[in-house]
Amino acid sequence: DGGITQSPKYLFRKEGQNVTLSCEQNLNHDAMYWYRQDPGQGLRLIYYSQIVNDFQKGDIAEGYSVSREKKESFPLTVTSAQKNPTAFYLCASSRGGGGQPQHFGDGTRLSIL
């Protein structure tokens, strides 16, 4: 079955550490996205990539970094510069361009120890 796989489901980080969240898709989608959800809030866009080897900042990119070396993969690194990293992180993909729904993975919950 085609889909988006995020791993791990739960992740714990110590203060001052960087941590990388994995996102893999086998839908052959060109575009991939990372969102953050906080309690009682909607999804906020961190980074997105419309094509391999290219990505753009979203609304809340500070303290995060990404890479897009393969079409199937779009890992997100939460750096120590992110002051409030505890949140639910969601990865999505779409065929790209406009007018296409995004399909989401099941998310990774990141907590600070």
Partner 1 sequence: DQQVKQNSPSLSVQEGRISILNCDYTNSMFDYFLWYKKYPAEGPTFLISISSIKDKNEDGRFTVFLNKSAKHLSLHIVPSQPGDSAVYFCAASALGYGKLTFGQGTILTVHP
- Residue 31 CB, nearest distance to partner 1 (Å)? 5
Who's near 17: CB < 8 A, 6+ residues apart?
Answer: 80
Question: Looking at beta carbons only, is 31 or 78 nearer to partner 1?
Answer: 31
- Are 64 and 81 in contact by the 8 Å Cβ rule? The answer is no
Instruction: Tell me which residues in 47-66 interact with partner 1 (CB under 8 A).
Output: 48, 50, 58
Q: Which of 13, 75, 103, 112 binds partner 1 (CB under 8 A)?
A: 103
Does residue 11 belong to the site contacting partner 1 (CB under 8 A)?
Answer: no
The residue written with tokens 């999505």 in the block is 92
- Residue 5 CB, nearest distance to partner 1 (Å)? 11
24-43 b/e (C-beta count within 10 Å ≥ 16 → b):
bbeeebbbbbbbbeeeeeeb
- Are 66 and 55 in contact by the 8 Å Cβ rule? The answer is yes
Interface residues toward partner 1, by CB under 8 A: 4, 6, 31, 33, 35, 40-45, 48, 50, 58, 88, 90, 92, 94, 96-107, 109
